[in-house]
């Protein structure tokens, strides 16, 4: 509870947290919340402006945009959270090995990271997803492949600093094995920056996934996805802008919410700020 | 019978500038239940000696000689065998309590992890045992402290927590590496009491590494004086600290505040490019030409081992 109170003191973080919770709830209860089926096409209702029946209007095939956005949250969150989790776990594991063992292991791993970082992330993901063909699994694989390096770098740096500290030597003097030291003593010390990175990272991944969908290598129609809705709506940008405005807003609000939450967590988890509060 | 006996221990750091002999031909014995103090000034190799025993030195170090502990030579053991000895047979009580505890793990868990791993206790038993240990070590409100993080405690409390951690594996030998470093007088007295209590309750032997002669005098049965990587005098604590044979030990005693505060001229030599003769030659008041050239053996002299050709 005290955690929540501390987070609640930061207004933006609180807003972020509330939006994220709402998003998760609407994704879970999408069939109950959506007024219409997300894939039901009624051409006589095409391109309607927002009204009581269709809060965000309808698209060129007469589908309810509001319902599609609610169902789209499912896939966006699924991709965002899964990919970020895979990236974080891989990055932490690889960074931990590099930082802990140092020497040749560190050298090889970090050069590999450098190679991956040398490519612009989204373009590499685009190539991988393009080569593997469209589909949700391929998009997730491509995004995971270009997203783990940041975590590896941060973890390696933190471990390099932490392993010099005396509590590591103390634990070793008391018979701790390498694995035990990494898992039990170093992992808790790298968690704070990783939690912050991951919460911001979910937003970035959702944005990247929308980008891939927009470019046509992501999830395929008729699945309701925000990026795809943008793509479909771009032909009607001048005549029916609500086709693109609402999915765009959904992406923006989601990414912003995760960023706010991440900033709030950064303040919350920073030990230096914590000391200040105690004084 | 000696619990630990060190023979010809030489620890060499291979640095860019050359070889640094931090420990040079060290012989030392620790008997069961006895306390041995290693004293000497900063950089004389006393901490390296402690770390050599536990083999916790960086990879650019070579250690030669023999360290016999309960009929096994620690220097020939594999990493796996060493991990079994560390903590359960030989434990370390580290210096600087402020950095030796993991800042993000509750102190109680840092004690119980040792109990659970070394003594295979169940979490609930380990918790009870840890609280009991804290009570024995006179930590105020153990139930509350058990739930706190290290930054919420004072230095003295952290030192007690570390003491509790170091004995979780019921070691036979405790290596205390400068346990009083950076502590004020009151805290120092508390730590000395704590150590006395630890060895009394557990029956462990103690290897005390310190530059504080008073702490050594209160705790140790035997004392070894180190200078520039060598043990230059070794004998019963009473004898070494009242009527030393080596001129360096005499100088150390004379530099104490209540003995006149007379510093030894010069500073301790670099451990690079060592000379063959007496290491203390450049600073010694009683030096002779022979001291500079001839290697000086550790000789028996009035009940002490002394490394000096012209000891009093």
Among B79, B74, B20, B23, smallest CA distance to B48 is for B23
Residue B118 is inside which H or E element, if any? Answer: helix B107-118
Looking at the structure, tell me whether residues B191 and B245 fall in a common domain. Answer: yes
What are phi and psi for residue A163, nearest 5 degrees?
-70, -15
Q: Which parts of chain B have pLDDT scores under 70? A: 1, 273, 312
Check B105 against A275: CB less than 8 A apart: no
Structure token digits, residue B298:
């550790």
Is B205 within 8 Å of chain A by CB?
A: no
pLDDT of residue A273: 54
Is B94 within 8 Å of chain A by CB?
A: yes
Instruction: Supply the DSSP string of A242-260, one letter for each residue.
Output: HHHHHHHHHHHHHHHHHHH
How far, in Å, are A1, A53, A67, B109, B299 from residue A239 at the CA level? 50, 21, 21, 65, 103
Looking at the structure, tell me whether residues B276 and B192 fall in a common domain. Answer: yes
Q: How far is residue A263's CA from residue A261's CA, in Å, rounded to a whole number?
A: 6
Establish if A49 belongs to a structural domain: no
Structure token digits, residue A10:
């930061």
Cβ neighbours of A97 (radius 10 Å)? 18
**Bridge partner list, B93:** B176
Q: How far is residue B67's CA from residue B88's CA, in Å, rounded to a whole number?
A: 17
Q: What is the pLDDT of residues B232-286, one digit of tens each?
A: 899 998 888 888 888 888 888 888 888 777 888 777 777 776 777 888 888 888 8
Number of domains in chain B: 2
Q: How far is residue A154's CA from residue A113's CA, in Å, rounded to a whole number?
A: 12
Residue B301 is classified by DSSP as E
For helices A149-162 and A136-147, angle between their N-to-C axes, nearest 10 degrees? 40
**Bridge partner list, B300:** B305
Is A163 within 8 Å of chain B by CB?
A: no
For helices B185-202 and B155-166, angle between their N-to-C axes, nearest 10 degrees? 20
Residues comprising chain A, all counted: 279
Establish if B176 belongs to a structural domain: yes
ipTM of the complex: 0.76
The CATH number of residue B276's host domain is 3.40.50.300
Establish if A204 belongs to a structural domain: yes
β-bridge pairing B222-227 and B61-69: unpaired
Is A174 within 8 Å of chain B by CB?
A: yes
Looking at the structure, tell me whether residues B177 and B36 fall in a common domain. Answer: yes
Helix (H, G, I), strand (E, B) or coil at B72: strand
Establish if A263 belongs to a structural domain: no
Dihedral of alpha carbons A36, A37, A43, A46, sign:
positive
Looking at the structure, tell me whether residues B180 and B162 fall in a common domain. Answer: no
Chains A and B form CB pairs within 8 A to the count of 68
Establish if A83 belongs to a structural domain: yes
Cis peptide preceding A124, ω within 30 of 0? no
Looking at the structure, tell me whether residues B81 and B191 fall in a common domain. Answer: yes
Give the residue from B143, B170, B197 where a domain finishes.
B170
pLDDT of residue A101: 92
Give the residue from B170, B198, B215 where a domain finishes.
B170
Establish if A31 belongs to a structural domain: no
| pTM (predicted TM-score) | 0.78
Tell me which chain A residue has its CA closest to the CA of residue B84.
A175
Is A175 within 8 Å of chain B by CB?
A: yes
Establish if B109 belongs to a structural domain: yes
Looking at the structure, tell me whether residues B282 and B240 fall in a common domain. Answer: yes
Looking at the structure, tell me whether residues B108 and B160 fall in a common domain. Answer: yes
Establish if B311 belongs to a structural domain: no
Q: How far is residue B35's CA from residue B17's CA, in Å, rounded to a whole number?
A: 37
CA distance A174 to chain B (A): 4
Residue A7 is classified by DSSP as H
Tell me which chain A residue has its CA closest to the CA of residue B169.
A174
> Which of A165, A172, A175 has its CB closest to that of B99?
A165
The CATH number of residue A157's host domain is 1.10.3720.10
pLDDT of residue A2: 66
Establish if B133 belongs to a structural domain: yes
pLDDT of residue B312: 54
Check B102 against A172: CB less than 8 A apart: no
Number of domains in chain A: 1
Full residue range of the structural domain in which residue A174 is found: 79-255
pLDDT of residue A279: 38
Establish if B223 belongs to a structural domain: yes
What stretches of chain A show up as alpha helix (H) in DSSP?
Answer: 2-9, 11-28, 30-33, 65-101, 103-118, 121-132, 136-147, 149-162, 166-173, 178-180, 187-214, 226-233, 242-269, 271-278
Spatial contact of B225 and B231, defined as CB atoms under 8 Å apart: yes
Q: What is the pLDDT of residues A26-69, one digit of tens each?
A: 888 888 887 777 777 777 777 777 777 777 877 777 788 888 98
Looking at the structure, tell me whether residues B300 and B177 fall in a common domain. Answer: yes
> Which of B92, B96, B102 has its CB closest to that of A185?
B102
Residue B91 with chain A: CB contacts under 8 Å? 173-174
Looking at the structure, tell me whether residues B62 and B134 fall in a common domain. Answer: no
Label residue A112 exposed, middle or buried (CB < 10 Å: 0-12, 13-18, 19+): middle
Full residue range of the structural domain in which residue B150 is found: 97-170
Spatial contact of A244 and A237, defined as CB atoms under 8 Å apart: yes
Tell me which chain A residue has its CA closest to the CA of residue B165.
A174
Helix (H, G, I), strand (E, B) or coil at B238: helix
Give the residue from B140, B155, B170 where a domain finishes.
B170
Helix (H, G, I), strand (E, B) or coil at A111: helix
279 residues of chain A, pLDDT tens digit each: 566 777 777 888 889 999 999 999 988 888 888 777 777 777 777 777 777 777 787 777 778 888 898 888 888 889 999 999 999 999 999 999 999 998 899 999 999 999 988 888 888 888 888 888 878 888 889 899 888 999 999 999 999 998 888 889 888 888 888 899 999 889 988 888 898 899 888 888 888 888 888 888 877 777 788 888 888 888 888 888 888 889 889 989 999 999 898 888 887 776 555 544 443
Establish if A146 belongs to a structural domain: yes
Establish if A72 belongs to a structural domain: no
Looking at the structure, tell me whether residues B116 and B240 fall in a common domain. Answer: no
Dihedral of alpha carbons A258, A260, A261, A265, sign:
positive
Establish if A117 belongs to a structural domain: yes
> Which of B83, B96, B151 has its CB closest to that of A166?
B96
Residue B197 is inside which H or E element, if any? Answer: helix B185-202
Residue A272 with chain B: CB contacts under 8 Å? none
Which residue bears the tokens 């004084």? Answer: A279
Q: How far is residue A264's CA from residue A251's CA, in Å, rounded to a whole number?
A: 20
Looking at the structure, tell me whether residues B177 and B38 fall in a common domain. Answer: yes
Establish if B192 belongs to a structural domain: yes
Is A82 within 8 Å of chain B by CB?
A: no
Looking at the structure, tell me whether residues B109 and B156 fall in a common domain. Answer: yes
């Amino acid at each position: 509870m005290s955690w929540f109170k501390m987070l609640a003191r930061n207004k933006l973080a609180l807003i972020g947290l509330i939006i994220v919770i709402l998003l998760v709830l609407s994704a879970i209860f999408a069939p109950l919340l959506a007024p219409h089926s997300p894939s039901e096409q009624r051409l006589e209702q095409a391109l309607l402006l927002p009204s009581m029946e269709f809060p965000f209007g309808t698209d060129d095939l007469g589908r309810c945009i509001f319902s599609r956005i609610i169902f789209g949250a499912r896939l966006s969150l699924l991709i965002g959270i899964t990919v970020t989790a895979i990236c974080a776990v891989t990055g932490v594991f690889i960074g931990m090995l590099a930082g802990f063992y140092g020497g040749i292991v560190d050298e090889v791993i970090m050069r590999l990271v450098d190679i991956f970082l040398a490519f612009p992330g989204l373009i590499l993901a685009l190539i991988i997803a393009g080569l593997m063909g469209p589909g949700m699994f391929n998009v997730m694989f491509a995004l995971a492949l270009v997203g783990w390096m940041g975590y590896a770098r941060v973890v390696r740096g933190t471990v390099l600093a932490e392993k010099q500290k005396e509590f590591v030597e103390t634990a070793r003097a008391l018979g701790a094995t390498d694995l035990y030291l990494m898992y039990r003593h170093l992992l808790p010390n790298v968690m704070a920056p990783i939690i912050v990175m991951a919460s911001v990272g979910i937003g970035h991944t959702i944005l990247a996934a929308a980008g891939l969908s927009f470019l046509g290598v992501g999830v395929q129609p008729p699945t309701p996805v925000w990026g795809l809705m943008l793509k479909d709506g771009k032909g009607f940008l001048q005549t029916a802008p609500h086709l693109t405005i609402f999915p765009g807003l959904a992406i923006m609000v989601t990414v912003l919410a995760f960023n706010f939450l991440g900033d709030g967590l950064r303040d919350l988890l920073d030990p230096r700020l914590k000391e200040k509060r105690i004084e | 019978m000696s619990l630990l006996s060190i023979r010809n221990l030489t620890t060499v750091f291979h640095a860019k500038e050359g070889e640094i002999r931090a420990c040079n031909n060290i012989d030392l014995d620790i008997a069961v239940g006895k306390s041995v103090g290693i004293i000497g000034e900063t950089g004389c190799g006393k901490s390296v000696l402690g770390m050599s025993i536990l083999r916790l030195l960086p990879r650019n170090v070579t250690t030669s000689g023999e360290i016999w502990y309960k009929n096994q030579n620690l220097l020939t053991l594999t990493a796996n065998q060493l991990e079994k000895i560390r903590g359960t047979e030989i434990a370390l009580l580290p210096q600087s309590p402020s950095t030796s505890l993991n800042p993000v793990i509750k102190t109680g868990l840092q004690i119980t992890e040792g109990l659970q791993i070394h003594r295979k206790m169940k979490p609930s038993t380990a918790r009870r045992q840890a609280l009991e240990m804290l009570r024995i070590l006179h930590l105020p409100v153990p139930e509350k402290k058990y739930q706190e993080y290290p930054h919420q405690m004072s230095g003295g409390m952290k030192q007690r927590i570390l003491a509790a951690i170091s004995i979780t594996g019921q070691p036979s030998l405790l290596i205390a590496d400068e346990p009083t470093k950076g502590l004020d007088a009151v805290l120092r007295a508390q730590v000395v009491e704590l150590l006395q209590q630890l060895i009394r309750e557990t029956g462990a032997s103690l290897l005390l590494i310190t530059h504080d002669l008073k702490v050594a005098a209160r705790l140790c049965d035997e004392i070894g004086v180190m200078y520039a990587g060598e043990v230059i005098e070794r004998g019963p604590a009473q004898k070494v600290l009242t009527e030393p044979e080596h001129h360096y030990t005499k100088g150390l005693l004379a530099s104490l505040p209540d003995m006149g505060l007379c510093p030894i001229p010069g500073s301790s030599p670099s451990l690079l490019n060592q000379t063959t003769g007496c290491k203390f030659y450049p600073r010694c008041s009683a030096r002779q030409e022979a001291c500079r050239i001839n290697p000086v053996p550790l000789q028996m002299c009035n009940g002490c081992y002394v490394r000096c050709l012209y000891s009093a």
